[in-house]
Amino acid sequence: GSSYAPTIGIVICLSCNELVYTGKKFKTMENHWKSACTGNKYCELKYGDFLKIKHKPESDCTFDDMRALHYYELWIANAIKKLKRARKAGVVRQKK
pLDDT digits (tens, 9 = 90+) for 13-43: 766 767 777 776 666 677 777 677 766 544 5
pLDDT at 11 over 60: yes
Chain segment 36-72, per-residue pLDDT in tens: 776 654 456 777 888 888 899 989 988 888 888 888 8
Helix pair 27-35, 63-95: axis angle to 10 deg: 40
Number of domains in the chain: 1
Domain that includes residue 46, residue range = 2-95
**What value does the mean pLDDT of the chain take?**
73
Q: Got the DSSP string for 53-74?
A: HHTS-GGG--HHHHHHHHHHHH
- Supply the pLDDT for residue 63: 86
pLDDT at 9 over 70: yes
